[in-house]
Structure 1
């Protein structure tokens, strides 16, 4: 990944090491995905981060401590804030990925006036479900509790995520405090995140090789072994009258947003604003590479701007 921001971002990367050692899976990277996609998507380009004058990048705030283990959150502050925030949850099949994967999108959203919080959370090599979801809930609560420190209204913080991060964000957003009090988001942004693990499309991929799949390793077993947990972990099971306005962005591959028809139907039944945007043909990682990255930022900004102020 290329950074055009000099010392500030180099220091940011250096600060991302955890305080306590734990198993890390580095199999998911921008470099590997770029090599995979290069021939399939002509015109695809590496992300670059170019902060505007007055924009701030604040790394490694501690939002949660468990013994000697700190969980960290990075914050992108815009030069001209709208008073609206968004917590972004990175992807990586519940086992990999990191906060830096969302820096390009966070930078673009900050340039559109949004304050972005990117939390670290426990992945499956360290802790199985529901640990990661609990962490995301706690990151939302932290962001709301500290919102005014960063020029944000506490009741105007959205929750978004990509791939497995989109699944986690959706579960926390629709779960209506199933992981604890507080943390209810102003809106949900799901980028290619599975919404229902039990659909035939989701089971075909997420339950592949049964207990050896990434979802099964995270959930603690295959669908056949623990069907109730697979249902519980699907955000579609929890949509209700208090669910937040929702934007679902798809790369165009239906496997990654399995369950979206059920979710959109339930949101419509409860008269909750919802929008669906799908690329005609794009790589799964639309938050990494242009031209998809900029379009994704534009879609998020337009959706958040369409919502009434509280």
Structure 2
């Protein structure tokens, strides 16, 4: 039993060290991500498990020899680190100020309607179940050509009423894995409670699909939305887009490539513009290395599975797949979200994208950096996820209010201040 206590204690210590100082090397990035992801976003649940594991092994003879005492000491440090993770997460504040968009909501209204349910924070699997007042329509085919059948799920308010704003959710998974059933659920449920109609959309995946098939599929959804939005109570003239990781990359491209014929072959005349974009921890530049050891486009994933071209011989193809190559003054408002401890997509990737977008776009560009947040932090309905989801709802609701009131977009770039975990993020 002393060695069991040693194992429990050392595991707790390693998990907390990785959560606070994640590994970024090529060989360690993925395991560091998975360990940190679970540790950080499920920290309250992990804390209970660690205390129970240490207490039980100690009670049943774990302190009978020196390995047990070493394990107890390591475990105590690990538990303290997990507790610190919880405290940092509880301090998460996302403040939208000076954004150039009418996003201010009455404080009493916010308290009454915008809070994320605590029950989901205690039992994360509850996010898989539609919240009260939300109706879900599953596996609706939005594109069918031969054997190709692409499907989506709709999250909408159960009550009727006027046409509601729509939002498109794009899942991540490195362009090769992922499904609409797995991601964006906390956000879509929360938005539906507040009057939005959410569309969780699938698209073709590599290596079967070759870039830009992924983006073309999403443009097909927008064409479908223009025709069928009313059937689900959504306004065909108002659609925003969000997504995480590869979905964040695609969400940014959807927002920045409206009307580009290359990405909507056969339906070039369809309006594929969106009213706002909220990319989470996305990849925005495949050509310039920046925070990467080599350009993202030069990795075997992109060369062999996604774009299927040589980076050195056809760099232009990778540039066209980069959101930074499509920056435009008339870009829609953006709310970019990234975690400071992201080991899969370094946070510097978001910072440089936001800087260049603010230099080009005439619309608001909001940036929120989640201190201590890992990649894919919003998949779980953690406390941090709750605060971000609430902020996204306020941002999008502000854009819709602007649309409903017929307010024009600002003609000059806005300076944004985002307060995250109590500190300013530039």
TM-score of the pair, normalised by structure 2: 0.60
**CA shift digits 1:173-217 (9 cap, x unpaired):** 101222233221111111011111123236536648x45225652
* Selected match of 1:235 from 319, 323, 334: 323
For residue 262 of structure 1, report the CA deviation from its aligned partner: 4.4
Distance 1:269 1:122, change over 3 A: closer
Determine if the alignment matches structure 1 residue 72 to structure 2 residue 151: yes
Aligned equivalent of 2:37: 37
Query: Does the 8 A contact of 1:86 with 1:114 survive in 2?
Result: yes
Determine if the alignment matches structure 1 residue 298 to structure 2 residue 390: yes
For residue 269 of structure 1, report the CA deviation from its aligned partner: 4.1
Determine if the alignment matches structure 1 residue 188 to structure 2 residue 277: yes
Structure 1 CA distance for aligned equivalents of residues 125 and 284 of structure 2 = 27
Distance 1:198 1:236, change over 3 A: same
For residue 112 of structure 1, report the CA deviation from its aligned partner: 2.5
Aligned equivalent of 2:369: 278
For residue 286 of structure 1, report the CA deviation from its aligned partner: 2.0
Distance 1:191 1:212, change over 3 A: same
Tell which structure's C-alpha radius of gyration is larger. 2
Structure 2 CA distance for aligned equivalents of residues 54 and 40 of structure 1 = 30
Query: Does the 8 A contact of 2:140 with 2:153 survive in 1?
Result: yes
- 1:49-64 to structure 2, matched below 5 A, reads 49=127, 50-64=129-143
Q: What do you get for the CA RMSD once the two structures are aligned?
A: 2.6
Structure 2 CA distance for aligned equivalents of residues 116 and 281 of structure 1 = 28
For residue 54 of structure 1, report the CA deviation from its aligned partner: 3.3
Aligned equivalent of 1:107: 189
Distance 1:205 1:306, change over 3 A: farther
TM-score of the pair, normalised by structure 1: 0.80
Distance 1:37 1:176, change over 3 A: closer
For residue 292 of structure 1, report the CA deviation from its aligned partner: 2.8
For residue 260 of structure 1, report the CA deviation from its aligned partner: 4.6
For residue 283 of structure 1, report the CA deviation from its aligned partner: 1.7
Query: Hey, which bits of structure 1, 4+ residues long, moved more than 4 A?
Result: 32-36
Aligned equivalent of 1:25: none
Structure 1 CA distance for aligned equivalents of residues 40 and 307 of structure 2 = 32
For residue 264 of structure 1, report the CA deviation from its aligned partner: 4.2
Aligned length: 278
Moved more, 100-109 or 65-74: 100-109
Distance 1:223 1:51, change over 3 A: same
Aligned equivalent of 1:155: 237
Structure 2 unaligned residues grouped into runs of 5+: 1-31, 46-120, 265-269, 407-426
Determine if the alignment matches structure 1 residue 170 to structure 2 residue 261: no
Determine if the alignment matches structure 1 residue 48 to structure 2 residue 126: yes
Structure 1 unaligned residues grouped into runs of 5+: 1-31
Higher relative contact order (CA 8 A, sep 6+): 2
Aligned equivalent of 1:14: none
Query: Does the 8 A contact of 1:239 with 1:267 survive in 2?
Result: no
Moved more, 101-110 or 254-263: 254-263
Distance 1:135 1:65, change over 3 A: same
Distance 1:222 1:250, change over 3 A: farther
Distance 1:58 1:110, change over 3 A: same
Distance 1:34 1:228, change over 3 A: closer
